[in-house]
Amino acid sequence: MTARPAAIRAVFFDVGGTILDETGEFAGWADWLGVPRHTFSAVFGAVIARGLPYDEVFRVFRPGFDLAAERERRAAAGDPETFGERDLYPDARACLAALKGQGLLVGLAGNQPAHAEAALRALGLGVDVIGTSHGWGVEKPAPAFFDRVVREGGGDAASILYVGDRPDNDAAPALAAGMPACLIRRGPWGHILDAPDVAARCLFRIGALDELPDLVARHNAAHPH
């Protein structure tokens, strides 16, 4: 189901690969595993290309490895994963501010572990909503996740734009929920995954977030109601 042409009143963003550059996180895991970073990256790409869950890359190097359990162990030991300003894509903060400046509701909603919500709030991004799979108790691409996005965005799916780097986890389920979608081509998923049928149904396809505010403004000028 695709959304009817309507003014965009809210914009929600995926987090990893869209707002956050995960290069530092993956480099840290490679170091922790004792694997050369380029080797970790190559295996990571192969895992994505095969359509496997991304945490499968850890089990290539450590069979039976449980990423969620390791994250919990780190948190319990007082050494949780974290991220900060250095991990934001350079175009993220300005994009969010520009959309807020257009009078839109702006939110973040992505598959993120327990520590992420507090870390995102600490960045002071000025968004209206911050939602994570851990906090909401449901992960993308489950329909219930996008139902929650719709509720948080005001209830009218056709007026809520969802922005992400993955056609499978972001764009396709957003479209199925009745939302317009925007695909951003960056990060490993954005470059490796190719779904022309999904991309063709997206309202926007961009290479950087600084393209988005003008596209939204022009769309709303053409669809004011």
Rg of the chain over Cα atoms, rounded to whole angstroms, equals: 17
Q: Cis link prior to 63 (omega < 30° from 0)?
A: no
| Residue-averaged pLDDT of the chain | 91
Nearest to 162 by CA among 176, 180, 178, 177: 180
CATH class, domain 10-20+84-222, is alpha beta
pLDDT at 80: 63
Centroid of chain to Cα 164: 5
Q: What is the pLDDT of residues 148-174, one digit of tens each?
A: 999 999 999 999 999 999 999 999 999
Confidence of residue 87 (pLDDT cuts 50, 70, 90): very high
Q: What is the pLDDT of residues 12-61, one digit of tens each?
A: 999 999 999 988 888 988 998 999 999 999 998 899 888 888 889 999 99
CA dist 116 and 130 (Å) reads: 10
pLDDT at 70: 84
Q: Find residue 88's DSSP bridge partners.
A: 20
56 neighbors 47 (Cβ within 8 angstroms): yes
The pLDDT of residue 218 is above 90: yes
Give me the residue spans of the domains in the chain: 10-20+84-222, 23-76
Q: What is the pTM of this model?
A: 0.91
HSE-CB of 156 using CA atoms within 13 angstroms: 11
